[in-house]
């Protein structure tokens, strides 16, 4: 592989490309649910707690809060209402952000860095930037860094599973990761603000990396193209860990990561249970250490929550927020195929998970993993569809299904391996055991289909990241929170608002023009 090729497919090049694009902020999403995360981070740095009572009341308007004497997640429409609630709660009552604290913890390094560097540069400290509404770009960059870390894990997973020469594997891994970076809600949602979705992606991909290590062959395990039992095992590594060569820390680390994922976002309990089921079925000998990791980290998380006054569990984790009824069926369909919230419509490249799952399934040893991943995807879509606000509020595309992306990526890898060209004409992948992938998967037509799906996905999410018109869509002509059925409209689709502005008024109006 040439020096230029190695550089173009290096992790550093990936980081630079993604961060450069992510750093271009057009649609400001920092005023949504994650808006209080930097303020909570500031409170942690300055006071060692999560109390937001000292903030100006106008910052707390229309923000879900936890205040004594008020329902959890209460919002106030005016400064007067905030002041009245604070007065009723008493002078010693604390005010906290309703949403999980993990995004705020991730903002702590940024707050510290701004405190150190801001004043010497004449920009003020973190508190000044936050109160003057000048922290938005730093907020987005912080979220972007979290997503980029997740992408590096995705690259490692893909690189460890695809076949062929080093150059071929690096190109497949790099292109696949770039599509994940720009053709999914990783760009249009998770990187735009400190939602729970960014750290969720990071932790769930880390969990998959650990699962693949336990699966066999160390590192990310045997490639799908290897015959059952053919994974290479390092005898020394096996002595330090288990028969697969996975280090001894892998199993308890998996437990810790799964617990952290659930703490970050409660619906991550679905993938956590699915992966625990896989461990119980396929690696029963490692179930004990995994459970130990879960228990120890859960105790630590509970202690931290108690120390920060968040409650154990915090109010956000209440199961009462999920109700299964007749509306759930329509919500499930909307989260999959509606024009403005459908995963398949906004990110059709995920359809590669279907042939990929079939290739995984043809290897009997991996069938339990396929079952776990399918339960992950289906169960998570069902869980978010049971939310009262199943359309995810003011957002873009399929925000609530972001946590399905790691599982869909892993399922799709064999199909991506099959369709990617081979210079020497040999089989792209033998994920079906000793046989080759079907000829139609290795055809030029299949490659064209994959490119079309990827281009559509990238274009769709570029609109969400770079067109203010998609944000305007949430508010009118009727607010989507008042009429969620709007997500089904074809003539008034969210991405269509951006496309229409581009055609009628040109790029400037489409990108940053008024509503």
Provide the token pair at 152.
Answer: 């590096």
Return the pLDDT at 428. 45
Return the pLDDT at 299. 97
Q: Phi and psi dihedrals of 65, rounded to 5? A: -130, 165
> Are 220 and 87 within one domain?
no
Contact between 242 and 185 under an 8 Å Cβ cutoff? The reply is no
> How far apart are alpha carbons 346 and 392 in whole angstroms?
15
Residue 12: inside a domain, yes or no? Answer: no
Q: Across the chain, which distance is largest between two alpha carbons, in Å?
A: 75
> How far apart are alpha carbons 295 and 276 in whole angstroms?
13
Residue 87: inside a domain, yes or no? Answer: yes
Q: Phi and psi dihedrals of 97, rounded to 5? A: -65, 140
Residue 15: inside a domain, yes or no? Answer: no
> How far apart are alpha carbons 448 and 454 in whole angstroms?
10
Q: Phi and psi dihedrals of 273, rounded to 5? A: -65, -40
> How far apart are alpha carbons 227 and 363 in whole angstroms?
8
Residue 498: inside a domain, yes or no? Answer: no
Residue 515: inside a domain, yes or no? Answer: no
Domain span at residue 303 reads: 139-466
> Are 321 and 288 within one domain?
yes
Strand pairing partners for 97?
Answer: 65
> Are 111 and 206 within one domain?
no
Provide the token pair at 379.
Answer: 């169960």
Q: Which of helix, strand or coil describes residue 467?
A: coil
Residues lower than pLDDT 50 in the chain? 217-222, 225-240, 425-435
Nearest CA among 13, 30, 38 for reference residue 394 = 30
**Which one of 99, 118, 134 terminates a domain?**
134
Cα–Cα distance list, 252 to 50, 207, 247, 265 (Å): 30, 11, 10, 20
> Are 214 and 85 within one domain?
no
Cα–Cα distance list, 316 to 66, 280, 413 (Å): 9, 29, 35
Q: Give residue-wise pLDDT tens across range 255-301.
A: 999 999 999 999 999 999 999 999 999 999 999 999 999 999 999 99
Return the pLDDT at 241. 52
Return the pLDDT at 423. 67
Return the pLDDT at 223. 52
Return the pLDDT at 511. 84
> Are 205 and 57 within one domain?
no
Return the pLDDT at 127. 94
CA angle 401/278/285 to nearest 5° reads 150
Residue 383: inside a domain, yes or no? Answer: yes
> Are 148 and 69 within one domain?
no
Provide the token pair at 21.
Answer: 């694009």
Residue 14: inside a domain, yes or no? Answer: no
329-333 contacts at long range (C-beta below 8 A, 24 or more positions apart)? 331/385, 331/386, 331/387, 331/390, 331/391, 332/381, 332/382, 332/385
Return the pLDDT at 93. 86
User: How many structural domains comprise the chain?
Assistant: 2
> Are 116 and 150 within one domain?
no
Helices (H) and strands (E) in the chain, counts: 24, 2
Residue 112: inside a domain, yes or no? Answer: yes
> Are 47 and 180 within one domain?
no
**Which one of 69, 101, 134 terminates a domain?**
134
> Are 128 and 184 within one domain?
no
> Are 184 and 239 within one domain?
yes
**Which one of 101, 134, 167 terminates a domain?**
134
> Are 345 and 379 within one domain?
yes
> How far apart are alpha carbons 32 and 475 in whole angstroms?
13
> Are 99 and 167 within one domain?
no
Contact between 222 and 215 under an 8 Å Cβ cutoff? The reply is yes
């Amino acid at each position: 592989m040439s020096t230029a090729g190695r550089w173009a497919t290096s992790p550093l090049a990936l980081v630079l490309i993604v961060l450069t694009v992510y750093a271009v902020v057009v649609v400001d999403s920092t005023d949504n649910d994650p808006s209080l995360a930097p303020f909570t981070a500031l409170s942690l740095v300055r006071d060692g707690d999560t109390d937001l009572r000292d903030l100006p009341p106008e910052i707390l308007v229309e923000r879900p809060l936890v205040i004594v004497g008020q329902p959890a997640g209460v919002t106030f429409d005016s400064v007067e209402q905030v002041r009245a609630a604070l007065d009723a709660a008493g002078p010693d009552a604390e005010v906290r952000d309703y949403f999980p604290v993990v995004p705020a913890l991730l903002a702590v390094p940024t707050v510290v860095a701004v405190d150190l560097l801001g004043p010497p540069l004449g920009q003020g400290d973190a508190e000044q930037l936050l109160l003057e509404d000048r922290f938005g770009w730093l907020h987005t960059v912080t979220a972007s860094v979290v997503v980029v870390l997740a992408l590096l894990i995705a690259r490692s997973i893909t690189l460890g599973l695809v076949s062929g020469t080093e150059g071929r594997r690096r190109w497949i891994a790099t292109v696949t990761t770039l599509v994940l970076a720009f053709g999914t809600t990783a760009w249009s949602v998770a990187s735009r603000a400190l939602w729970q979705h960014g750290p969720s992606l990071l932790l769930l991909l880390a969990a998959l990396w650990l699962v693949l290590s336990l699966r066999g062959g160390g590192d990310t395990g045997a490639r799908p193209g290897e015959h059952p039992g053919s994974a290479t095992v390092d005898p020394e590594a096996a002595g330090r860990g288990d028969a697969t060569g996975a280090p001894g820390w892998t199993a308890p680390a998996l437990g810790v990561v799964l617990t952290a994922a659930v703490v970050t976002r409660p619906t991550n309990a679905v993938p956590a249970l699915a992966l625990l089921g896989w461990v119980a079925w396929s690696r029963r000998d490692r179930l004990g250490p995994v459970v130990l990791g879960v228990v120890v980290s859960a105790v630590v998380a509970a202690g931290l929550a108690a120390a920060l006054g968040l409650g154990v569990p915090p109010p956000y984790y209440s199961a009462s927020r999920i109700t299964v009824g007749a509306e759930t069926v329509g919500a499930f369909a909307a989260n999959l195929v509606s024009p403005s919230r459908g995963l398949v419509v906004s990110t059709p490249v995920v359809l590669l998970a279907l042939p990929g799952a079939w290739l995984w399934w043809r290897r009997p040893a991996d069938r339990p993993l396929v079952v776990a991943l399918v339960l992950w995807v289906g169960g998570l879509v069902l869980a978010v569809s049971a939310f009262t606000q199943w359309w995810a509020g003011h957002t873009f595309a399929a925000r609530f299904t972001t946590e399905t992306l790691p599982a869909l990526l892993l399922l799709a890898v064999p199909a991506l391996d099959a369709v990617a060209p081979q210079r020497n004409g040999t089989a792209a992948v033998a994920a079906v055991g000793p046989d080759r992938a079907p000829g139609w998967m290795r055809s030029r037509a299949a490659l064209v289909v994959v490119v079309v799906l990827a281009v559509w996905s990238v274009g769709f999410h570029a609109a969400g990241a770079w067109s203010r018109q998609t944000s305007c869509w949430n508010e009118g002509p009727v607010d989507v929170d008042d009429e969620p059925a709007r997500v089904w409209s074809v003539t008034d689709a969210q991405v269509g608002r951006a496309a229409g502005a581009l055609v009628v008024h040109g790029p400037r109006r489409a990108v940053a023009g008024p509503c």
